[in-house]
Structure 1
Amino acid sequence: MGITTGDGVRIAYRFDGDRDKPVLLLSNSIGTDLHMWDGQVPALTEHFRVLRYDARGHGASDVPSGPYSLDRLGRDVVELLDALGLQRVHVLGLSLGGIVAQWLGIHVPERVDRLVLSNTAANLGPADQWDQPIADLLAAPDMRATAERFLNNWFPPHMLQDEVVEPFRRTLLATKREGVAGSWAAVRDYDLRRTAALIEAPTLVIAGEHDTVTSAAHGKELAEIVPGASLTILPTVHMANVEAQPEFLEAVLTFLTEER
């Protein structure tokens, strides 16, 4: 299923779970699609109707060329919620998905119930560090080198040949370079270190102790910026939802279902 945004881009999405449960929106990282959450959906749907989507440039969504902006990535989600008639949802985002989730908490607080920001950051500067990787990727013959670099940044060495990682490798190789480069541009240009203080939603920040993409220090900084945020540090690299699935799910479900 899909919707078309105001600038003519198709965004693919899917629901899992019972219609009578509260909706939990999941937002994916760069180089993945909505299937990055496949392992967690069975547990999450015990409590929520899970809404997943492919960020523009990824999966079954359209892949416009040129740089993307965080504002546009955020508006994609708002337009998706509008099209589906969803006024207020819980939001869980990882990496770029966590950046988009921050944007939602800042700019459309009335649409966000509780917020989980996993393996993400309020800023990933300096901005000019992204220019050469973007140029190199667009000049590369294919996604092979980038795919292996991503996987080495996402998972510990002992997991790289594990069957659970293979779908991530296939997705990376199938992802169009323009989608990754456009998303990197959004990461290059964003800085929420001041505005994340405007987030009103109850917020859980999850960080990976060994994460080299968005470090534990990034997670601590974000948790200090967002008013009242709690912080959980897991003994993982970047894909905490996969590497430490039981601990990740326990943290997420405890936070999202606890009485307030």
Structure 2
Amino acid sequence: MPIITVNNRKVHIQELNKGAEHTVVLIHGMFSNLSIYYFNIAPILAQHFHVVMYDLKSHGMSERVSEGYDLENMSSDLIALLDSLQLQNVHLLGYSFGGLIALKTALQIPTRVERLVVMEAPDPQDEKARNIIDEYSKEFLEHYIANFTDTTKRKMGKRQFEKNHRLYEFLFNQTSIKADMIKEKYFLHEMDTATLPPSTLLLYGDTSNCKPTGEWLQTKISGAQLELIPGDHNIPIQEPTQIAETIVDFLSNPLLQNHG
């Protein structure tokens, strides 16, 4: 389980198909970890691309940090990771709050982001949307344990289960994560979409409470395409194969305009 140092902090990463010509970087949401991609979505993407996954600070097996969960800091972490791995041009895919990190990073380094996939990014201005992330975090642990057991054929032990719970309790109760998310209240409505990649895919659940945000983003990001996937905010768990195949089709389409 590779641990590298980025911005003077330990970051857990996983890479698949390192020899591929093009790289896609997967960003998970708050209160989750890279396993949301690792078990189902990443292996399909890795048939075509170099896939990079990483645990956000204080998530999964990355180092615990008490502050710095605003988009500026999270984007800075991602850019430092790209630099550390010597990745000059990448596709970015972000889920939930990770979708906001992907958007922020694409705004920060537009010439290095070739194509952008935003999946179920919420509007931080919507308090109900922020609550969705809280609700999802509770559900994530159950699915994480089920996926771990199904994929590895090993039952997760009590010690590992308790360790995960302690980690999420730390995030909820001992970090600035919720306050930092609230700071980003107007992010979507203040961003300059003119600098975003011309090829942007928006993936949202057809019954998700975040779907109106996806529909709104489609009107704001020139050339963006919106794909509705059966399900709610948990579509990476509900329809991983359809999501992975949709992303492969989007990233592989030579007719879409690309950044250098």
- Structure 1 residue 118 displacement after superposition: 0.2
SS across alignment from 1:163 = helix
Match of 1:19 in 2: 19
Q: CA deviation at 1:13?
A: 1.1
1:186 corresponds to 2:169: no
Match for residue 207 of structure 2 among 203, 207, 210: 210
Q: Which runs of 4+ in 1 moved over 2 A?
A: 1-6, 126-130, 149-155, 159-187
Could you tell me which residue of structure 2 aligns to residue 140 of structure 1? Answer: none
Retained in 2: the 8 A contact 1:105–1:112? yes
Structure 1 runs not aligned, ≥5 long: 134-145
CA separation in 2, counterparts of 1:22 and 1:160? 30
Residue 32 of structure 1 contacts residue 172 of structure 1 at CA under 8 Å; is this kept in 2? no
Quote the RMSD (CA, aligned, Å).
Answer: 3.1
The answer for the alignment partner of 2:216 in structure 1 is 221
Which residue of the partner structure matches residue 249 of structure 2? 254
Q: Structure 1 residues 249, 173: closer, same or farther in 2, change over 3 A?
A: same
In the TM superposition, what whole-angstrom CA distance separates every residue of 1:151-205 from its partner, at most 9, and x where no partner exists? 67779xxx97993497999585253434355333332111122315134311000
The equivalences for 1:26-105 within 5 A come to 26-38=26-38, 39-66=40-67, 68-105=69-106
TM-score of the pair, normalised by structure 2 = 0.80
Where does 1:75-224 land on structure 2 (aligned, <5 Å)?
75-121=76-122, 123-125=123-125, 149-150=135-136, 163-164=146-147, 170=161, 173-180=165-172, 181-190=175-184, 191-201=187-197, 202-212=199-209, 215-224=210-219
Question: Is the contact made by 1:102 and 1:199 (CA closer than 8 Å) also made in structure 2?
Answer: no
Give the CA deviation at 1:120: 0.6
Q: Which residue of 2 aligns with 1:142?
A: none
- Paired letter, 1:209: D
Q: 1:174 to 1:253 in 2, by over 3 A?
A: farther
Number of the residue aligned with 2:229: 234
Given the superposition, is the C-alpha separation of residues 103 and 129 from structure 1 closer, same or farther in structure 2, using an over 3 Å criterion?
A: closer
- Matched residues, number: 237
SS at 1:253 equivalent: helix
Structure 1 residues 129 and 227, CA, compared in 2 at 3 Å: closer, same or farther?
closer
State the distance in 2 between where 1:65 and 1:91 align: 26
Q: Structure 1 residues 223 and 166 mapped into 2: Cα distance closer, same or farther (>3 Å)?
A: farther
How far apart in 2 are the matches of 1:238 and 1:154?
Answer: 11
Task: Determine the C-alpha separation between the residues in 2 that align with 1:196 and 1:11.
Answer: 30
TM-score, normalising length from structure 1? 0.80
